Amino acid sequence: MVHPPSEGGLTPGGGAPAPVDALLVVDLQRGFVTGPEAVPGAGALAAAIAALHARARAEGALVVHIQNDGPRGAVDEPGTEGWQLVLPRDGEAVVRKAEDDAFDGTPLGALLERHGVRRVAIVGVLSEMCVSATARTALARGLGVVLPRDAHGTYALGDIPSEVVSRVAEHALGDRAELVAAARSVAFRGVEGAHSRQTPDHS
């Protein structure tokens, strides 16, 4: 059952969520955050995610970069400049996908299980598509999901502003997802072997 959101849908009482074991960075690829096809507010979005990424690494959490393989001619077509990941990822897993859901046909679920991950923060693009689909499956798998409001983004849909699309995507997840206003509210805890992987995961 979905209950009416409190505090604007944010974590009740405005408190910080419990620490997470992993950071899933969804489709933070150059074509979505730089150049003419960047999402609105891409600079601030990328900066918030970069700061969160740095803290996750420093605190020993698992970091997984999700990389979308778009169709021919798309901004994220494999091998193009727009397809390249934005963040540095030394020793961090990269999971390539062809569907919205990062768990669909990929080793993501097994990777999280192997590291004993129970709670994840999910950031990236696009809010109502790949971020939402990945969050839904994470919840269905019994994982705790934290979604920082300033660390996911999307495009406008017709006359619907991009920030409204993102807010609706958040609330469509129901009350099991933990919404926080700012990425700086997310805390991490270390997991064993978080940065020991040197070989990317591929779908």
Active site residue 130: yes
In the chain, count of helices (H) and strands (E)? 5, 7
Residue identified by tokens 């006359």 is 159
C-alpha to C-alpha distance for 171 and 188, rounded to whole angstroms: 24
* CA 125-126-131 angle, 5° bins: 80
Q: Which of 52, 112, 117, 130 is catalytic?
A: 130
Residue 57 region, left (φ>0) first, then alpha (ψ -120 to 50), else beta? Answer: alpha
Alpha-carbon 126 to chain mean position: 9
The catalytic residue positions are 130
